[in-house]
A and B are shown apart, each in its own frame.
Chain A
Amino acid sequence: MASQDTIRFISERCDGCGDCMTACAKAKGSASRVAIVAGSDGGWEMALCRQCGDPKCVANCPAGALDKHRDSGIVDWFKDLCVDCHLCTVGCVYGGIVFDPAAGHVQKCDMCDGSPACVPACDKGALEHLSAAGRLHEIHADKEDMFVPGLSACQGCNSELLIRHTMRRIGRNSVVAAPPGCIPGMGTVGYNGQTGAKMPIFHPLLTNTAAMLGGVKRQYERKGRDVTVVALAGDGGAVDVGFQSLSGAAERGERVLFICVDNEGYMNTGMQASGSTTFGSWTSTTPVGEIGRGKSTDGKYLPQLLMGHGCAYVATASTAFLDDYHAKLEKALEASRTGFAYLHVHAPCPTGWRFPAAMTTEVCRRQVETNFVTLWEFTPEDGLCFTRGVGRPRPVSDYVGMIGKYKHLGPAELERIQASVHRRVEVLQGFRRRSTAAG
């Protein structure tokens, strides 16, 4: 089944003006299918069809008058078959299909054929039309998955999602280096003489990944073959132990795409701290007890260091914003034909960071919404550009509060984290070229 569009409601931005409802009613010539209602805490809440994956309204219909469209994902309502029994409304817990007395039958959102009228009507930005999943599906679904089924990543790990997306795009004409870390640990390099990937993949040392890949690439170039070489490394293999060879390869401008999947520690060997582990984090080597309060220093911010190497392309990414990631992957691949390309992808770890496995994407999103993670790209020509605005961040406590590894933190420590988030954003803003900064 295809991935499908949805409309997201950002309650904090809603002021209850009702413009979305006016726009819907106007577009549909009937009662609004989106309803904004007052919440109990002075805020606003929304009732709208979620176009469920397993829609109860459809299951409850005795007349076959509701059906989820196979491609668009829209739950369609057919007036001719409907008998006005309203059993669909019994199935819906979102208030998404509702009797409209004026029309004399139930009404529901149909996403306005792909461009919902309510979304642009909201000038507060409280409604977002999320269509990336559908678009990415359109582009990538038919491409070959380069990894075997059944990789044994922890439940909720986004690294598997990331490497499958990445290698689906890059394809077979590639060589992958996966240094020690979660990615080979989940079986990509294989077990017992079997491989977990359909392209050549090897397991370098933590210390020599970038050097080996550079050599592989040069040998192919010597043979006249155009092969993409990719490192799928963790933060240990990039920020810490792997840094020397990475720095050297970047400085030499090796034609390599180096992807660091950063889960802020050595998570597959027992959750030890790495150079990337952020201030205050509990790890097994930065414990919390009578004296210890988690990691006492800030994490090293590798993407900024790579920018200092003048690489052909450097970017940060989050799997909550996969369309942004795919756009950067395209640019990185192009850049790696002439120089060193580096992608730094944030990978919150449910197992090591202590949060529920189902929350990973929400955690990723919250990292970005609080500016704990910023999304940007850098080229020597254009300098640094943010690919998602850093204005109007949520307080960093909204992110920290979701994560078990921070649960011991007090107000003073939270303040320090908030201050370092502000400082980093200011520093990054300083790297913007004046021409872009002015724009």
Chain B
Amino acid sequence: MHARYLIIGSSHAGREALAAIRMADPQGRLVMLSRERHRPYSPTILPYVVSGRSDPRKVGLGSVAWFAENRAELVLDAQVVAVDADARAVRLADGGCWTYDKLLLATGAEPVVPPVEGLEGVRYHVLRTLDDALAIRARAATARRAVVLGAGLVGMHAAETLAGAGLDVTVVEMRPHVLAEYFDPRASTLIRETFERHGTHMMMGRRVERAAGVETEACRLGLDDGTELEADLLLVAAGVRPALRMLADSGIATDKGILVDTRMRTARDGVWAAGDVAQAPGFPTGAPMVNGTLPEAVEQGRIAGMDMAGDDDLRPYLGGIPLNTYGFFGRHAVAVGAAAAPAGDGVEVVTDEGDGYCRIALKDNRLIGLAAIDRVMDAGILWRLIQRRVDLGPVRDRFLSHPLETARALMSRGWR
């Protein structure tokens, strides 16, 4: 079977590409392959499925009608196992084959399972798919003690959810701080302390060395400091990595992820990549980075789709900027850009804990990063101020004392 546009992956990058292709080419056959049996959904919703806040029947992001309106075909349960960029074809696990004119790899990421002795012999969970979420939810209903390996976004979300479900939760993180990829040590500490106040055990700077099964489904874990933990529910949330396995021998250049340029083109003609699987130029240096956040997947997906369809209005990617929003126990944190950049070497850091926490990092009077807890911030505006390298010199003091209002005024002036 042949498609003019073939998209592998059905989450944000794939969806956005699909919509962008249809803006420029209403006709060409457009097929999306998903390895899932469920209709498309966002991995970001999964912690909320675990907690019960989101109904798994209502998390779909692409209705039948939406695909019909876009004249796009969705093929579920289609596991791609190999890409042949010479023949412009992909092979499926069931032996099927699709040929294409233009291919988008939006296959996302898969959980990293750390090398822990005995782990393969015990029952553990990961959280990347809807089935994973449903399995954790089912297990949490009877489990009493949970251990979460990793204090990244997935681990922290899950820990809060499991604590909320009444479990005794321990988080083990080998780095000294939670959410270290987004927040500075002080912000991380504030977040960790909130978890501790809510009764979650936070074991920072520790490593699980051994795992062993005990009777029923529980397991016993041995940490590097000699601590022994027992868990009825073990969640491995030690990060994710781009899902690259299908690319062996494809000639598509990869590093940590699939290397792409500012139009999301890979090293092979007719193949694009976007979202968590891609390693695109980072901001501001252009050094390739995997920036696996939802807003980046949207941005990259749109650019890839526009380029695939030959849309003249395409503006090349300006470079990945880390950013995230994070809610925990009714509090809210936001981190945009190099929010944890240490002071010095031209970087100026201003921290304010007067009314909530706010840490602003400037370089040459330009914003390079901002982290805030319990402070209302327009993350999208801050993102744009960083990306446009807006000179804050004339409003510097106002920005430092009133970042929300000053950033709004700057952007309002820009679009009026």
CB contacts (< 8 Å) of A64 on chain B: these are 58-61
CB contacts (< 8 Å) of B334 on chain A: these are 86, 89
Q: Given A56-B298, A56-B380, check contact A45 B413 (CB 8 Å).
A: yes
Q: Given A45-B409, A94-B411, check contact A89 B12 (CB 8 Å).
A: no
User: Does A63 lie within 8 Å of B59, measured CB to CB?
Assistant: yes
CB contacts (< 8 Å) of B15 on chain A: these are 59
Stretch at the interface among B111-119, B203-211, B323-331: B323-331
- Chain A minimum-CB-distance residue to B385: A93
Contact with A along B401-416 (1 / 0, CB 8 A): 0000111111111011
Smallest CB separation, A52 vs chain B (Å): 11
CB contacts (< 8 Å) of A195 on chain B: these are none
Bound-state CA distance A40–B405 (Å) is 11
Q: Tell me whether chain B's interface is mostly helix, strand or loop, or mixed.
A: helix
- Chain A minimum-CB-distance residue to B334: A86
Which residues in window 55-87 of B have CB below 8 A to A? 58-61
Smallest CB separation, A71 vs chain B (Å): 15
CB contacts (< 8 Å) of A35 on chain B: these are 405, 408
Bound-state CA distance A87–B12 (Å) is 13
The answer, yes or no, to whether B364 is at the interface (CB within 8 Å) is no
Bound-state CA distance A64–B12 (Å) is 11
Smallest CB separation, B42 vs chain A (Å): 3
Smallest CB separation, A38 vs chain B (Å): 6
What bracket does the count of chain A residues touching chain B fall in? 20 to 34
The answer, yes or no, to whether B53 is at the interface (CB within 8 Å) is yes
User: Does B330 lie within 8 Å of A95, measured CB to CB?
Assistant: no
User: Does B16 lie within 8 Å of A45, measured CB to CB?
Assistant: no
CB contacts (< 8 Å) of B407 on chain A: these are 95
Contact with A along B388-407 (1 / 0, CB 8 A): 00000011001000000111
- Chain B minimum-CB-distance residue to A81: B58
- Chain A minimum-CB-distance residue to B42: A62
Contact of B45 among A46, A47, A63 (CB under 8 A): A63
Bound-state CA distance A62–B295 (Å) is 10
CB contacts (< 8 Å) of B44 on chain A: these are 62, 85, 87
Bound-state CA distance A118–B295 (Å) is 31
CB contacts (< 8 Å) of A37 on chain B: these are 405-406, 408-409, 412
How many A-B residue pairs have C-beta atoms within 8 angstroms? Tell me.
Answer: 125
The answer, yes or no, to whether A9 is at the interface (CB within 8 Å) is yes
User: Does B294 lie within 8 Å of A87, measured CB to CB?
Assistant: yes
User: Does B409 lie within 8 Å of A39, measured CB to CB?
Assistant: yes
The answer, yes or no, to whether B250 is at the interface (CB within 8 Å) is no
User: Does B379 lie within 8 Å of A90, measured CB to CB?
Assistant: yes
Q: Given A59-B12, A90-B380, check contact A9 B416 (CB 8 Å).
A: yes
User: Does B380 lie within 8 Å of A93, measured CB to CB?
Assistant: yes
Contact of A90 among B302, B325, B411 (CB under 8 A): B325
User: Does B378 lie within 8 Å of A92, measured CB to CB?
Assistant: yes
User: Does A89 lie within 8 Å of B380, measured CB to CB?
Assistant: yes
Contact of A47 among B54, B374, B378, B379 (CB under 8 A): B378
User: Does A83 lie within 8 Å of B380, measured CB to CB?
Assistant: no
CB contacts (< 8 Å) of B16 on chain A: these are 59
The answer, yes or no, to whether A213 is at the interface (CB within 8 Å) is no
CB contacts (< 8 Å) of A150 on chain B: these are none
CB contacts (< 8 Å) of B2 on chain A: these are none
User: Does B376 lie within 8 Å of A45, measured CB to CB?
Assistant: no
Contact of A40 among B298, B381, B383, B394 (CB under 8 A): B394
Bound-state CA distance A266–B374 (Å) is 62
The answer, yes or no, to whether B48 is at the interface (CB within 8 Å) is yes
Bound-state CA distance A365–B272 (Å) is 43
Smallest CB separation, A226 vs chain B (Å): 40
User: Does B383 lie within 8 Å of A90, measured CB to CB?
Assistant: yes
CB contacts (< 8 Å) of B413 on chain A: these are 39-40, 45
Contact with B along A11-29 (1 / 0, CB 8 A): 1000000000000000000
Contact with B along A84-106 (1 / 0, CB 8 A): 11110111111100110100100
Give the interface centre of A59, A90, A98 by most chain B CB atoms within 10 Å: A90
Smallest CB separation, A57 vs chain B (Å): 8
User: Does A60 lie within 8 Å of B295, measured CB to CB?
Assistant: yes
- Chain B minimum-CB-distance residue to A100: B376
Q: Given A62-B42, A62-B44, A87-B44, check contact A45 B408 (CB 8 Å).
A: yes
Which residues in window 27-56 of A have CB below 8 A to B? 35, 37-40, 45-47, 56
Smallest CB separation, B319 vs chain A (Å): 16
Smallest CB separation, A167 vs chain B (Å): 26
CB contacts (< 8 Å) of A84 on chain B: these are 327, 332
Which residues in window 324-364 of A have CB below 8 A to B? none
CB contacts (< 8 Å) of A85 on chain B: these are 44, 325, 327
The answer, yes or no, to whether B175 is at the interface (CB within 8 Å) is no
User: Does A47 lie within 8 Å of B12, measured CB to CB?
Assistant: no
CB contacts (< 8 Å) of A92 on chain B: these are 378, 380-381
- Chain B minimum-CB-distance residue to A59: B298
Contact of A86 among B61, B327, B381 (CB under 8 A): B327
The answer, yes or no, to whether B384 is at the interface (CB within 8 Å) is yes
User: Does A60 lie within 8 Å of B378, measured CB to CB?
Assistant: no
User: Does B48 lie within 8 Å of A86, measured CB to CB?
Assistant: no
Q: Given A59-B16, A63-B42, check contact A93 B411 (CB 8 Å).
A: yes
Which residues in window 5-20 of B have CB below 8 A to A? 12, 15-16
Q: Given A40-B394, A83-B45, A85-B325, check contact A46 B412 (CB 8 Å).
A: yes
Which residues from chain B sit less than 8 Å from chain A, CB to CB? 12, 15-16, 42-45, 48, 53-54, 58-61, 294-295, 298, 302, 323-325, 327, 330, 332, 334, 336, 374, 376-381, 383-384, 394-395, 398, 405-413, 415-416
New A-B pairs, 7, CB < 8 Å, besides A62-B294, A95-B381:
A40-B398, A45-B413, A45-B416, A64-B60, A89-B379, A90-B379, A94-B380
Which residues from chain A sit less than 8 Å from chain B, CB to CB? 9, 11, 35, 37-40, 45-47, 56, 59-60, 62-64, 81, 83-87, 89-95, 98-99, 101, 104
A-B contact pairs, 6 of them (CB 8 A): A40-B406, A81-B54, A86-B327, A91-B295, A92-B380, A95-B412
Pairs A-B, 5 closest by C-beta atoms: A62-B42, A45-B412, A62-B44, A86-B325, A45-B409
